[in-house]
Amino acid sequence: MIDIGIMGGAFNPIHSRHLMVAQAAIDQLDLNRVIFVPSGEPPHKKSGLLDKEARFAMVKAACAGNSRFEASRSEIDRPGQTWTIDTLYEFKARYEKKYGARQKVRLNFIIGEDNLPILRDYSRRAEFLSLCRLVVSPRATCDAAALERWQDELPEADMVILEAPANEVSSTMIRDWIDQGRCVRYLVHEAVYRILVKEGYYAPAQNHAFTGKVKRRTK
C-alpha cells in the first residue's frame, strides 16, 4: 500500500503546527510522504490573502529540509477557481498511473477538526470522502467525545484521529502578531521566518518591512 498524505489550505502563511501535524501523520500512519498543496484561487477568498506565488515560496522553503515533505504547484498552476476535490482526483490519477497494478494507492486528506463543519455541509461530501481516508488533527478545544460525534456526522468517512500536541498556533495568529510588531520566529520554520522578514509580508502598511523586533509600547 502506498499511502500519500495531502494537506491543503491557504498557508497564509505556513506555520509550525502545519509541519508538526504532517510529521505526526507520517509517524503514526506510516505515510510515504505528505504533499502540501497551497490554494491558487480558492472559491471563498478571504481578505488579506497573500499572492499565491508568495505563499507557495514559503511552503516550498518549509518543506525543503524534510525528504517526506513535498510542496505542490497543483492548485497554484491550475487556472480559475481551485477546488480540493479536483486536486484529489488529480493525485489519485497521477499515483495510480505511477504504480499501476503493482501497488494500491490511498490518499490521506489531513484536515483540522475546525474544518469538519465545512466538509459536513459540502454538497459533494460523499464523492469527496470516497477519494480519501480522512485524517483529523484535533485542536485544543476538541475532546474525544466531540470527535466521536463527528464520526457519526460523517458516516461515509474512513476516519482516523491523529495524536498531536494541542496548541493554538494558526495563520491568523501569525498575521496578527506581525501586525502588532511581535516576533514570530519560533512559530514558523526558520526559512519561512527569513522570508517574512525580508519581504515584510503581513506588516502594517506604514512599515515597509517587518524587522522581527518587538515594538516598544508607549506609555
Give the model's confidence band at 100: pLDDT under 50 very low, under 70 low, under 90 confident, else very high. Answer: confident
CA dihedral 29, 113, 119, 189 (to 10 degrees): -70
pLDDT for 219 equals: 34
User: Is 180 part of any domain?
Assistant: no
Q: Name the one residue in this structure whose C-alpha cell is 490554494.
A: 39
Compare 212 and 27 and report the one with higher pLDDT.
Answer: 27
Using alpha carbons, list the distances in angstroms from residue 203 to 55, 140, 198: 15, 28, 11
pLDDT at 215: 45
Mean pLDDT along residues 193-215: 74
* Residue whose entry in the numeric block shows the C-alpha cell 503514526: 28
161 phi and psi, to 5 degrees?
Answer: -110, 130
Each residue's pLDDT tens digit, 73-91: 999 999 888 899 999 999 9
Nearest in space to 45 (alpha carbons), one of 91, 89, 90, 12: 12
The pTM for the full model equals 0.90
Q: Is 48 left (phi over 0), alpha (psi -120 to 50) or beta?
A: left
Helix and strand numbers (H, E) in the chain are: 8, 6
pLDDT of residue 216: 39
Q: How many domains does the chain have?
A: 1
Let me know if residue 74 belongs to a domain.
Answer: yes
pLDDT over 90 percentage in the chain = 68
In angstroms, the CA 184 to CA 177 distance is 7
Is residue 126 scored above 60 in pLDDT?
yes
Q: Is the model's pLDDT at 218 over the cut of 50?
A: no
140 falls within a domain: yes
In-domain check, residue 130 = yes
pLDDT at 63 over 90: yes
Distance of CA 147 to the CA centre of its chain: 20
151, part of any domain: yes
Q: Where are the beta strands (DSSP E) in 21-177?
A: 33-38, 69-71, 105-112, 133-137, 159-161
What confidence tens digit (pLDDT) does each residue in 155-202 have? 999 999 898 887 889 999 999 999 999 999 999 999 999 999 999 999
CATH code of the domain in which 138 resides = 3.40.50.620
Domain assignment of residue 187, yes or no = no
- 215: in domain: no
Please count the other Cβ atoms lying within 10 Å of the Cβ belonging to residue 216. 7
Question: In whole numbers, what is the pLDDT of the chain averaged over residues?
Answer: 88
Give residue-wise pLDDT tens across range 19-57: 999 999 999 999 999 999 999 887 766 778 999 999 999
Q: Judge whether 56 lies within some domain.
A: yes
Mean pLDDT of 134-154: 80
Q: Over range 122-147, report the average pLDDT.
A: 86
What is the reported pLDDT for 13? 97
Give the mean pLDDT of 83-105. Answer: 90
The answer to whether 124 and 21 have CB atoms below 8 angstroms apart is: no
Helix axes 52-63, 190-199, angle to 10 degrees: 150
In the predicted structure, residue 138 carries a pLDDT above the cut 70? yes
Its domain, for residue 22, covers 2-164
Concatenate the DSSP letters of all residues of 150-170 into one string.
HHHH-TT--EEE---------
